[in-house]
Structure formats: C-alpha cells, structure tokens
Amino acid sequence: MDVEDASEVSEAVQVLRRVFGYEAFRGSQQEIIEHVIGGGDAVVLMPTGGGKSLCYQIPSLVRGGVGVVISPLIALMQDQVDALRALGVRAGFLNSTQDLEERRLVEAEFLAGELDLLYLAPERLRVEQTLNLLDRGKISLFAIDEAHCVAQWGHDFRPDYLALSMLHERWPDVPRIALTATATDATHTEITSRLQMAKARHFVASFDRPNIQYRIAAKSEPKKQLLELLRSEHAGDAGIVYCLSRASVEKTAQFLVDNGIAAVPYHAGLDARTRAAHQSRFLREDGLVVVATIAFGMGIDKPDVRFVAHLDLPKSVEGYYQETGRAGRDGQPSTAWLAYGLQDVVQQRKMIDGSEGDEAHRRRLSAHLDSMLALCETVECRRVRLLAYFGQESAACGNCDTCLAPPQTWDGTVSAQKLLSTVVRLKRERGQKFGAGQIIDILLGKKTAKVIQFDHDQLSVFGVGDDLKEAEWRGVVRQLLAQGLLAVEGDYGTLVLTETSGEVLGGKREVPMRREPEKQARAARSKA
C-alpha cells in the first residue's frame, strides 16, 4: 500500500485522523462532509451508530467560524461537549440548565471566535437575544440533529422545531445539514418541506441493522417471558427493557433484581440525580439492565447493548426502530424482542381516544398504531416489513423469528365470520358494551356469571367457536385488528366493526391468519 503524502489527502481526511483518530470514513460520510464543506445543504438519513456526528463536526472544523448544532438532547450536551473538548475541539453549549454566568461565558467565547462548535437547544432560538448573538458571530454551518422532530407526521414531533425554518430565512448563505436516524418517506418529505431544504442533497443510507435479530412474541406473562429470555440467551449482558408506564418500570426492575439480575429503573418520575446515576452506571458497568420508559436512550452511545426488550407495544414503527436500534451498535449479534398482546391494543386505543390535540392528530396516532400492529402480525420476514416501512426493499433476512420459524397460515375466514357476527349481535343490545373477553367467552360457550347475566348463552353464536382455544381466539382478534377488519374503542376496549368488516361477513373477503408458534400458544394458554 502506498503511503499517502499528507498534501494528497483532503482536509476532511486529515481532520478525521488528526482530531478524531480514525483512519477512514465510513459509508457516505466523506461525500456528505465534502458536500457541506463546499457550502451545500444536506439531508442525512442514517441509522443509529452510522456516524452522523462527524458529518457536521468535521465541516465545522474545516470551514471557518462556528458550527451551530441544534439538538433536543439537553441532558447529553454536557457529555458531548466534554468528549469533544477531550479531543481538543473547542465546543460549548447553551441551554436552560445553565445559569446566567455560564451562559455569558459561552456567549463571550462564541463572539471572540473561540468556539468550533456550539450546541443549542431549539427553544433557545425563540429568544431574540440568542438570534442577535448569532448575528454577531461567524457561523460556519447549522446542523439540525434529530431532524424528524420537525415532522408532525413523525413519532416525536417537537413544536420548537417548527421555528427552524427561520434559520434559512435569516442566514440564507449558511449551509445546513439535517440529520435523523428514523424517517419514513412521509417524514422525510415533511422534513424537507418544513426546513425548506428542497435544494439540498439527500443522503439516505440503508436502514438495515443486520446484526439485530427481530422477534415478536405473544404476551402471556411478560416478566417471566423476559426472565426466560435473559437467562437463556443474555446472561450477564447489558440491555434495555422498555415499559410504557413508570409503575411497570419499577415493578419489572424489582422483579429482575429479585431474580438475581443487575437492573435499575429509569423514568421521568425519578429525580434528576438518580436518573443521572443510573444512566452513568449503564454506560460504565458491564452487564447492567436498565428498565425504562422511552425517556431513556436517545443519543446514548453504548456500543455493547446486547438486547432491547419491549414489554409493551411501541406506539409506532418509527419508535420501535429507534428503540431497538440502540442494540448492537458495535455490530455484534443482538436481540430485539417484543412481547405484545390484545391488552396493549386496547390500552393504546384508549390513550389515542383520550389524547389532546385535534382529529388529525388522533388519526396520525391511529395510523402509527395500525402499522405497528401489522408488523406484529405479519407472516413475512420482520426485517423486510420494517425496511419496507422506511421505503427500502430487501430480501428475507433468515435471522428474524418469522424467517427462523415461519408461522403457518390458516384460512381464518370462518372464524372471523363467527367473531364478527358475535360483535354484531352484541351491538344490538343497547347501552351495553363488551370487550374481547366476553366475546371469546360466548364463542367458547362458557357460562360465566357475566354471560348468564346478559343471557348471552341464549345467542345463536354461543359455543360456535369451541374449535379454537382461548389463546387462538385472542390471536384472531389481534389479527382482525391488525388487518383493519375490527376496531376497538372506549375505556373498556369495546370491539366494534369497521367499514370493511362487512366484506368478511358477506363472504366477499378471505382472511388468512398467522398460526401462533406452538410454544407461545402454550404459554398463553397456561395463563388463561
């Protein structure tokens, strides 16, 4: 191999080696960096761990002036700045956690041209003072990190981000680079238009994370299922377990500790010091499990997270992808495991129905949930479905649960008809609303107190479904929900028909269904 003469390698490569100590660029980093150094705008879609930071850090160092980085991750700014300073990069930040004096100091450095990079929380840009400050310094570029936050269609919309279109109006000559690790086509389009980046070059890396094994299981006893996963496959490994509520975070962490697994909770209800302590233990110790709400993980750079487990259904495929993406940044085999059940769907519908915001907002949340359900109930390769969601084609991966143990399909048309006609029968009973439990009891011919109370044992459909087990009926309900042939509403998870249910009832539509792998069905039955 030829020894390169320093004068022959580009300035970007020199900075990569001299400042960051890396030998070569990865993927399209160099192309992106050269484009921004040349003054062009860029929209960068790259999965977690792909190396987005260098894409704005190096141009900031090569172009004269200060690179201004807009980031919502206030909690991480101190760490990011410390890490850069350790490399000799002159970095600072401005956010709401600082007192006046700290802020003044950073502002003075900025004005004196003593900074290479300035991290800003988006809400700072609503303060006229900040804008005036930026006017008085020399800005080399604007980097908009976590750019999906500008998209209302996305899963993590932040109103403060809408103001970022102003950057272009106020500083038209300063190049901008917007970066995100999650964007569907719709979100990508929205980022482009909201940030007025129609003329930007777009760099879309593959979203595939080949070392992550995606698995989605039917939920029966989630904590026990989790424990079995950890004991059989991830003993001593570091990992993240996501739960929807603070209460279940606490309970699950305690359960793991009681069973001899080093685990700590993390959620917004804990005081700041405890959170910071748990986060830094996770980063430093080997084999710690953090049980968290989604408040945990964004921007955390821990390479050897071996598993991400979800005990509750994520609200969107984008969220699921982002959270599971925290596993295996080092490229080593890692597991993304999700347990989900009917109750998740009921609970999330309830949250959507009760959510603040307009009808359009609720429709968006519904669409997100529907896509997530479709991923859960697919008989196809999980990875194929996941990448298709981000507009990328791929072949079956051979490594996800459905590839490794292809679910059998069966013709569920008749079962669907039985279930839907039970829903129709119950609808006629004015004022009474029934969830999946009652409907399944009727189909199975169970004379429970509630069945007797409402004379449901007198219905013609009573007992017509005894060819399936309870867990199988729950699977039927989930799949009808996932296929949009049934819906759930209200606080009690009332099952209702949809516009397309009639096609099934009228015999105009077949309903292929996924058969639960035997092991899961057995686990679900033993609980029932």
82 belongs to the binding site for ligand ADP (CB under 6 A): no
Is residue 215 a contact residue for ligand ADP (CB under 6 A)?
Answer: no
| Residue 269 parent element (H or E) | none
What angle is formed at CA 242 by the lines to CA 238 and CA 246, rounded to 5 degrees? 120
The interface partner of residue 182, options being ligand ADP, Zn ion, none and the CB cut-off 5 to 8 Å by kind, is: none
**Residue 22 interacts with ligand ADP (CB under 6 A)?**
yes
- Rounded Cα–Cα distance for residues 474 and 44 (Å): 42
Beta bridge mates, 240: 290, 308
Task: Look at residue 26 and give the partner it binds from ligand ADP, Zn ion, none, a contact being a CB closer than 5 to 8 Å depending on partner kind.
Answer: ligand ADP
- Residue 156 CB: number of other CB atoms within 10 A? 20
Nearest-angstrom CA–CA distance, 486 and 473: 13
* E strand or H helix at 233: helix 222-233
Residues 388-447 touching Zn ion, rule: CB under 5 A, are 397, 400, 403
In the window 301-320, what residues touch ligand ADP (CB under 6 A)? 301
410's contact among Zn ion, ligand ADP, none, with CB below 5 to 8 A by partner kind, is none
Residue 383 binds what, of ligand ADP, Zn ion, none (CB under 5 to 8 Å, by partner type)?
Answer: Zn ion
Beta bridge partners of 215: 337
**Cβ closest to ligand ADP, residue 47 vs residue 341:** 47
State whether residue 192 is helix, strand or coil.
helix
Of the candidate spans 47-55, 119-127, 418-426, 476-484, the one that interacts with ligand ADP by CB under 6 A turns out to be: 47-55
Q: Work out how close the CB of 401 gets to Zn ion at its nearest, in angstroms, rounded to a whole number.
A: 8
Pairing of strands 409-411, 512-514: antiparallel
Q: Is 321 in the site for ligand ADP (CB under 6 A)?
A: no
Binding status of residue 469 toward Zn ion by CB under 5 A: no
Nearest distance in Å: CB 319, ligand ADP: 16
- Cβ 380 to Zn ion shortest distance, Å: 8
Region of 24-32, 85-93, 241-249, 356-364 interacting with ligand ADP (CB under 6 A): 24-32
CB nearer to ligand ADP: give 69 or 249. 69
CA dihedral sign of residues 434, 436, 438, 440 = positive
Out of 217, 381, 488, 495, the residue judged to bind Zn ion by CB under 5 A: 381
Please report whether residue 11 would count as binding ligand ADP according to CB under 6 A.
no
DSSP tag of 2: P
Q: Note the Cα 12 to chain centre separation in Å.
A: 32
Stretch that binds ligand ADP, among 52-60, 189-197, 216-224, 483-491 (CB under 6 A): 52-60
Contacting residues for 415 by C-beta, under 8 A, at least 6 apart: 465, 467, 468, 473, 476, 511, 513
- Residue 501 touches which member of Zn ion, ligand ADP, none, C-beta under 5-8 Å by kind: none
Taking the C-alpha atoms of residue 77 and residue 228, their distance in angstroms, rounded to an integer, is 37
Q: How far is the CB of 188 from ligand ADP (least distance, A)?
A: 16
Strand pairing report for 263-266 and 334-340 = unpaired
Tell the smallest beta-carbon distance from residue 53 to ligand ADP (Å).
3
Token readout for 6 is: 């320093």
* 496/485 Cα distance (integer angstroms): 9
Q: Are 288 and 262 in contact (CB under 8 A)?
A: yes
* Residue 48 is a binding residue for ligand ADP (CB under 6 A): yes
Does 54 sit near ligand ADP (CB under 6 A)? yes
* 46 binds ligand ADP, rule: CB under 6 A: yes
Of 64, 111, 61, the residue nearest 89 (C-alpha) = 61
Q: Which is nearer to ligand ADP, 53 or 252 (CB)?
A: 53
- Nearest residue (CB) to Zn ion, 259 versus 394: 394
| By the rule CB under 6 A, 26 interacts with ligand ADP | yes
Q: Report the distance separating Cα 227 and Cα 177, nearest Å.
A: 43
105: CB partners within 8 A, 6+ apart: none
**Interacting residues of 346 by C-beta distance below 8 A, sequence separation 6+:** 435, 436, 488, 493
336 binds Zn ion (CB under 5 A): no
The site for ligand ADP, by CB under 6 A, has a size of 13
**What's the min distance (Å) between Cβ of 141 and Zn ion?**
39
Q: Taking CB within 5 to 8 Å according to partner kind, which of ligand ADP, Zn ion, none is near residue 310?
A: none
Q: Which residues of 250-274 are buried (b: 16+ CB within 10 A; e: fewer)?
A: bebbebbeeeebebbbbbeebeeee
- Give the total of residues touching Zn ion (CB under 5 A): 5
Torsion of the alpha carbons at 38, 39, 41 and 46, rounded to the nearest 10: 40
For Zn ion, give the closer residue by CB, 163 or 403.
403
| Among 12, 13, 42, 50, interactor with ligand ADP by CB under 6 A | 50
117 or 375: CB nearest Zn ion: 375
Residues contributing to the site for Zn ion (CB under 5 A): 381, 383, 397, 400, 403
Residues contributing to the site for ligand ADP (CB under 6 A): 22, 25-26, 29, 46, 48-54, 301
